[in-house]
Amino acid sequence: MRTDPSRDTGFGLHELLGLRGGAAWLFLVILEVTIALSMARNFDTTAAVPALAAMIVMVVAGALALIVPGERLPWAATAFVAAAGAVATALASVDQSPPHARYMVWTTYATSYLLAVLVLRGRMAAAWLGVAGVAVVLVVDGVQAWLAPGATVAAIVPVGTVIAISVFAQINRSTQRSLRRLHDESSTQAAAEATMVAADAERVHQLARLDRVARPMLERIADGAALTTGEREQCRLLEAELRDGLRAPQLTTDELSGAARGARARGVAVVLLDDGAFDGTAHWLRERVIATAAKELDAANAGSVTVRILPPGRRVLATVLAQAPDHDRRTEIGADGAVTVVD
């Protein structure tokens, strides 16, 4: 089975590391605390306002990097996270204190962790663009003598974190593909098993129903007994009821089946059709449709009654069309439960 390469990177490390549920929230707390502690060091070397602004930008970016749903981080969030490091570094490197008090740009440490998370979310190229943005800011600061050369070099060292995570991602690419294959195979197997269980449950239900309604008559026929006129009529009604079970299984309740049998016994032609709108419908709404149809069947003495569950997505959930020699009546049950009668 071939796997879409784009899906491999999307599934990738975020899934591999199990960042789901409680583990994801714990990872978020650890990341945010680490960022906040690193950014707090800027208050010793930078004015409070730019230092606070830099911290806010980084904390928000850290939250977006993990909270935004999707295996791969959406592009809007990716752009913000990738740019956050450069913006925060520029804010934290505003020269508001004597040069000798500025011995390190702590923002680059927090940025390295943030960009490493970006790699985990499948955005390696964007993470390296973020690294380049931070490097540009540091070089500009160095050229303008806001940072000593040693401080500039030291500030770039944390980029090694991004390098390590990127290498790890490349090495584990085959593992990511294997995980995707296993995930797809597991999903396919689960769907097949669910289909088999549903089919088996329906088969058991139909066999139980057949045994309940048809066994006595079938045994009598198998014994070779001559059927009376009443028994032949009973066979006709049984055949129609079993046909209802095939054409409209969700309408074959005791209430509606009894009403349909009574109407047929009075000479009414009854047709039950199910086109699927009952799937996922609330129980009370189904009960309303069945009660409305049963009431119409009980009132019919001639002509025909057609009960139809419409296809999904329609404004009308079901219709009951009663055709009598003297008049026709159409009843509609909407998806909101409203009952409309048109004579």
Choose between 104 and 291: higher pLDDT. Answer: 291
Predicted confidence at residue 3, as pLDDT, reads 40
Identity of the residue numbered 316: V
- For all residues of the chain together, what is the average pLDDT? 81
Confidence of residue 154 (pLDDT cuts 50, 70, 90): low
Let me know: does 131 contact 119? Beta carbons within 8 Å.
no
Does residue 152 register a pLDDT over 70? no
What are the angstrom distances between the C-alpha of 308 and each of 205, 254, 333? 22, 17, 10
Predicted confidence at residue 114, as pLDDT, reads 92
Share of the chain above pLDDT 90, in %: 29
Identity of the residue numbered 100: H
| 317-340: pLDDT as tens digits | 999 999 998 889 999 999 888 999
By residue count, the chain amounts to 343
Phi, psi of 319 (to 5 degrees): -130, 150
Predicted confidence at residue 331, as pLDDT, reads 94
Domain ranges across the chain: 5-171, 248-342
Return the top range by mean pLDDT from 119-123, 174-178, 204-208, 209-213.
119-123
Predicted confidence at residue 79, as pLDDT, reads 94
| 94-104: pLDDT as tens digits | 754 545 445 45
Confidence of residue 9 (pLDDT cuts 50, 70, 90): very low
* DSSP string across 17-76: TT--HHHHHHHHHHHHHHHHHHHHGGGGTS-HHHHHHHHHHHHHHHHHHHHS-SSSPPHH
Does residue 1 register a pLDDT over 70? no
Predicted confidence at residue 317, as pLDDT, reads 93
Return the top range by mean pLDDT from 4-13, 14-23, 92-101, 195-204.
195-204
Work out the average pLDDT over 69-79. 85
Lowest mean pLDDT among 2-16, 21-35, 141-155, 219-233: 2-16
| 121-150: pLDDT as tens digits | 888 899 999 988 888 887 777 666 555 666
Choose between 7 and 55: higher pLDDT. Answer: 55
| 255-283: pLDDT as tens digits | 998 899 899 999 999 999 999 888 888 88
Predicted confidence at residue 235, as pLDDT, reads 82
Does residue 80 register a pLDDT over 90? yes
Choose between 21 and 225: higher pLDDT. Answer: 225
Chain centre to alpha carbon of residue 133: 36
Let me know: does 274 contact 251? Beta carbons within 8 Å.
yes
Predicted confidence at residue 308, as pLDDT, reads 93
